[in-house]
Structure 1
Amino acid sequence: MRLSSPIYALKRQAKLLARDNDIRLHAALNQIATKEGFNDWSHLASSHSKATPAKEIMSQFNPGDMMLIGARPGHGKTLLGLELTALAEKNNRAGYVFSLDYNEADVWDRFEKLGFDPKEHNRSIVVDTSDDICAAHIIERISNAPDRAFAVVDYMQLLDQKRSNPPLDEQVRALKRFATERGAIVVVISQIDRAFELTSTDMPSIEDIRLPNPVDLSLFDKRCFLNDGQVQLATAA
């Protein structure tokens, strides 16, 4: 059964419902679950904990893979990247988030929306929002990971915003080379050109990636696109 909203959004609805109606949170969660067609919240949670898009994607990664996640703003590409990072520990990987778009408080707020509690994890996720983020910076940080790294980069089009950084294509090649040599997994979040919204297609594709500077997109082993709650995963041809 498909939910009307992601679980993190339903949890937020329940918190507002509990506050506005002065009821306990568990009662509000049960009300939300009933509206979604489930007996109660535990029924909803158990039904949707088995196979989320992030878990399905994570199960298909191979050491050395580099994946591109593309979507228009507000369609969940950053949240998907963070959810994948939260799953890294279960795959014996050290999770890293490199964001040139959000500050650290914003990143942890989004982890909270996903229900991620750092206290429940043996390995802490590293969140880096430095203005110095580029391929060389990322590689330096994850080279010393205690386990093979799982790194999410948010987002590709900002990697060469500093004129002192190498061209974007050169940076993507460096990340792919590092991932291959070290067995790391690198997920790169990307913008989709706004012209996509004027098309009649349901899902963006590799042709819709916004490229202000050239990049060889064949360097990405996997591509994942999101739109209106749908997720589409494909391997490179």
Structure 2
Amino acid sequence: MKLSAPLYYLKRKARLLSRKENIPLHTALDHIARQEGYSGWSLLMARASASTPAGKLFSLLAPGDLVLVGARPGQGKTLMSLELAVEAMKAGDRGMFFTLEYTERDILNRFHVIGAEWERFAGLFAFDCSDAISADHIMERLASAPRGTLVVIDYLQLLDQKRENPALAVQVRALKSFARDRGLIMVFISQIDRSYDPSRKPCPDIGDVRLPNPLDLTLFDKTCFLNNGEARFQAAS
């Protein structure tokens, strides 16, 4: 399918229209879809889903994987991660979203942005917006999660923000062991360092991950970096 601009740009355009015209986001999204020749946003997303970066990345994942999704702000890393959860649920598995950034309303709004029907996945999807999110909290919440559950953690650099939490490296190692033992897929949303210059290279890479505290990035099995509508996947080690 041919669109006038990348999906992330169309989504941003809809958000701006929603604020400017004081209309619901879903109305703005449908308006943008009609400009692209589709009757509504859900139809546009359905046609695009087969070739989405999330669909391609999900096909590369296996139970036990730790995945790093990194991008500068506004490039779609949260939407990509939520799309991965939707791909898992389409396959009959469960999705879990831990966030220190978003509210319940924010998350539900983003289901519409990515063209997913919340009602279809309500029994398979759960989210946690607790201020207590850490590796211990995540593992406790996932104690009974079935094999194949895709877990999104938003975001990596906030896990050890509280001084009482263990070091970031300790938490990621614990989550890696837990994911492998339980057969879970864990997706960590990551910030990119401000020094990254898109004029020098079109997409960030593992060397551009913002690390205020030490962390061995080879703990991640796969990575996905986004910029300006481009997605690049690779093994991290």
* TM-score, normalised by the number of residues in structure 2: 0.85
Matched, 1:226 2:226: yes
SS in 1 for 2:63: coil
Deviation of the 1:148 alpha carbon: 3.4
Selected match of 2:36 from 33, 37, 40: 33
Question: Is the CA contact 1:89–1:123 (under 8 Å) kept in the aligned structure 2?
Answer: no
Deviation of the 1:123 alpha carbon: 2.7
Question: Is the CA contact 1:148–1:184 (under 8 Å) kept in the aligned structure 2?
Answer: yes
Matched, 1:161 2:161: yes
Question: Is the CA contact 1:92–1:148 (under 8 Å) kept in the aligned structure 2?
Answer: no
Stretches of structure 1 lacking an aligned partner (at least 5 in a row)? 35-39
Change (3 A) 1:122 1:211: closer
SS in 2 for 1:50: helix
Q: Please provide the CA RMSD for this pair.
A: 3.0
Question: Is the CA contact 1:10–1:32 (under 8 Å) kept in the aligned structure 2?
Answer: no
Q: Which residue of 2 aligns with 1:124?
A: 124
Deviation of the 1:47 alpha carbon: 4.2
Deviation of the 1:30 alpha carbon: 6.8
* TM-score, normalised by the number of residues in structure 1: 0.85
Matched, 1:204 2:204: yes
**Whole-Å Cα distance in 2 between the matches of residues 65 and 48 of structure 1?**
26
Question: Is the CA contact 2:222–2:235 (under 8 Å) kept in the aligned structure 1?
Answer: yes
Question: Is the CA contact 1:92–1:147 (under 8 Å) kept in the aligned structure 2?
Answer: no
Selected match of 1:9 from 11, 14, 17: 11
**Whole-Å Cα distance in 1 between the matches of residues 166 and 49 of structure 2?**
41
Deviation of the 1:143 alpha carbon: 1.8
Change (3 A) 1:93 1:198: closer
Query: Match of 2:141, as an amino acid?
Result: R
Query: Match of 1:32, as an amino acid?
Result: Q
Query: Match of 1:9, as an amino acid?
Result: K
Matched, 1:52 2:52: yes
Change (3 A) 1:134 1:12: same
- Which is greater in Rg? 1
SS in 2 for 1:162: coil
**Whole-Å Cα distance in 2 between the matches of residues 44 and 130 of structure 1?**
34
**Whole-Å Cα distance in 1 between the matches of residues 68 and 208 of structure 2?**
12
Tell me the number of residue pairs that the alignment of Structure 1 and Structure 2 aligns.
228
Matched, 1:83 2:86: no
Per-residue Cα deviation, 1:193-222 (whole angstroms, up to 9, x for no partner): 010037611110111001000011000000
Q: Percent identity?
A: 43
Query: Match of 1:51, as an amino acid?
Result: S
Which stretch has the larger CA shift, 112-121 or 217-226? 112-121
Q: How does 1:75-224 map to 2 (within 5 A)?
A: 75-121=75-121, 123-197=123-197, 200-224=200-224
Change (3 A) 1:50 1:166: same
Deviation of the 1:32 alpha carbon: 1.3
SS in 2 for 1:187: strand
Structure 1 residue ranges, 4+ long, deviating more than 4 angstroms after superposition? 27-31, 40-47
Which stretch has the larger CA shift, 82-91 or 155-164? 82-91
